[in-house]
């Protein structure tokens, strides 16, 4: 499972989970349907990310990739002996985009005002 910045992981995905309605006959053994991204579905994902961002929400993507063996055949390794992230983070399936609120801590507004008085141009504050 991969989690991280939605705008990054969505671009590394070439499939997405197809959302279907749950019913009482569904079981956890059912195969989860997937589909290749189309221009329309990719545009819909981009609009979703922008929609949440415009509400000052941080978006996180959840993606998956199945491997038939570990380590995967043909894997590349980094200096520490771990499988290279770029090898793993490709051909992903987008499972979900979620949004979280990241409210500013007490005192941030005052700190930003102090920075601005000192000539510092603050571009973004999180948490």
Q: Can you give the pLDDT of all 127 residues of the chain as single tens digits?
A: 899 999 999 999 999 998 877 777 766 666 788 999 999 999 999 999 999 989 988 899 999 999 899 988 888 898 898 999 888 999 999 999 999 987 778 888 899 999 999 999 888 776 5
Sign of the Cα torsion 22, 28, 31, 34 reads positive
Q: What is the pLDDT of residue 5?
A: 92
- Using alpha carbons, select from 9, 112, 121 the residue that is nearest to residue 65: 9
Question: What pLDDT does 24 receive?
Answer: 73
Q: What pLDDT score does 59 carry?
A: 92
pLDDT of residue 102: 76
**pLDDT of res. 127:** 58
pLDDT of residue 29: 66
């Amino acid at each position: 499972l991969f989690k991280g910045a939605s705008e990054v992981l969505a671009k590394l995905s070439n499939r997405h989970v197809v959302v279907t309605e749950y019913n009482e006959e569904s079981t956890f053994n059912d195969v989860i349907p997937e589909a290749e991204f189309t221009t329309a579905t990719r545009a819909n994902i981009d609009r979703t990310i922008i929609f949440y961002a415009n509400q000052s929400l941080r978006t996180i993507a959840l993606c998956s990739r199945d491997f038939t063996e570990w380590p995967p055949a043909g894997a590349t390794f980094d200096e520490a002996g771990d499988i290279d992230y770029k090898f793993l983070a490709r051909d992903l399936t987008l499972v979900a985009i979620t949004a979280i609120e990241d409210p500013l801590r007490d005192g941030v507004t005052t700190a930003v005002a102090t920075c601005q008085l000192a000539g510092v141009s603050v571009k973004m504050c999180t948490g």
